[in-house]
Amino acid sequence: TILEIDLRRNESGYAAIVGAIIELRNNKTLLTLNLQANKVGDEGTKYLANGLRNNTTLQKLDLRENTIGSLGAQYLADALRENTVLITLILRDNTISDAGLEHLANALNTNKTLNVLDLSWNNIKTSSRRHLTNMFQCNQSLTTVDLTGNGQGDCAVIGIATGIRNNKVNLTTVNLRCNRLGDEGTEILCQALQLNCSIVTLDLRSNEITENGAELLAKILRRNATLTTLLMGNNKVGGNGAKYLANALHNNTVSFLCRFPVEYPNSILLHIDIEYIGS
């Protein structure tokens, strides 16, 4: 009985895709399929999606680094409307873009089984606000969403924040690393976190956040009893920002791990780990 197939970085990408399609259609036990870096493209995704429609066992599909564009995302979205078993979909390092995100977000209005969606490094930018809002508001089954490295900035963070505010059930992990949020985007997120009671882990590394943004986050930490992990590495919070966050830990009543850098005048970047367990 085959439960997992790993065909990552297979030079004969087409052969790997054909084999995968056969497995999706005929295999009644396969749980995990890894096709990372197989030159799948939009055409290959079309055939994979057809196999995915009627599959009743596959729970995890890894399609990272496969030059899948918005058309391929549309094929996958169509399959997700019919598929009722897939839990994890990894699309990291493709070219889904805003148009592809729209297709996926619309599909997730009806799909109630997908828990983990990785859209990191997919050139999702300008028009993504509405689609992200739609995705977070309408889908209550997503637990983990990774939007690392999309350079979204404030426009998209508004959509993300709106979704976080309204998704109060299952969403526990949001990764926004490398998205140029800055202090303004951080403020919008903080407004959403005031009302959210499900987010446990928030990754804000490499987002150009200064001590002003750190102060805003510190105020949230004093009131939010759900967030337990905040990743703040490679920002510019400075000594004052570090103090704001550290002081917030003393008022936080849950187990909390905060990682952030402090920049000193000698330009040496130190990563400080502070762990506080509430009494």
Question: Quick one: what percent of the chain has pLDDT higher than 70?
Answer: 84
- Is residue 107 situated within a structural domain? yes
- Is residue 45 situated within a structural domain? yes
> pLDDT category, 160, cuts 50, 70, 90?
confident
Q: Please, are residues 216 and 188 in contact by the beta-carbon 8 Å criterion? A: no
- Is residue 171 situated within a structural domain? no
Prediction pTM value: 0.87
- Is residue 223 situated within a structural domain? no
- Is residue 40 situated within a structural domain? yes
Distance CA 118, CA 91 (A): 6
Q: Please, are residues 157 and 181 in contact by the beta-carbon 8 Å criterion? A: yes
**Position 139 pLDDT exceeds 50:** yes
User: In terms of residue numbers, what domain contains 6?
Assistant: 1-123
> pLDDT category, 242, cuts 50, 70, 90?
confident
Give residue for tokens 């109060």. Answer: 168
Q: Residue 153: its pLDDT value, please? A: 61
**Position 140 pLDDT exceeds 70:** yes
Q: How many domains does the chain have?
A: 1
CATH of the domain at 92: 3.80.10.10
Least confident range of 37-51, 114-128, 219-233, 240-254: 240-254
- Is residue 230 situated within a structural domain? no
- Is residue 272 situated within a structural domain? no
Q: Residue 24: its pLDDT value, please? A: 80
How far does the chain reach from its first CA to its final CA, in angstroms? 49
Q: Residue 164: its pLDDT value, please? A: 78
**Position 65 pLDDT exceeds 90:** yes
Distance CA 47, CA 31 (A): 19
Q: Average of pLDDT values for 213-233?
A: 88
- Is residue 260 situated within a structural domain? no
Question: Quick one: what percent of the chain has pLDDT higher than 90?
Answer: 40
**Position 94 pLDDT exceeds 80:** yes
Of 279, 211, 207, nearest in space to 250 by CA = 279
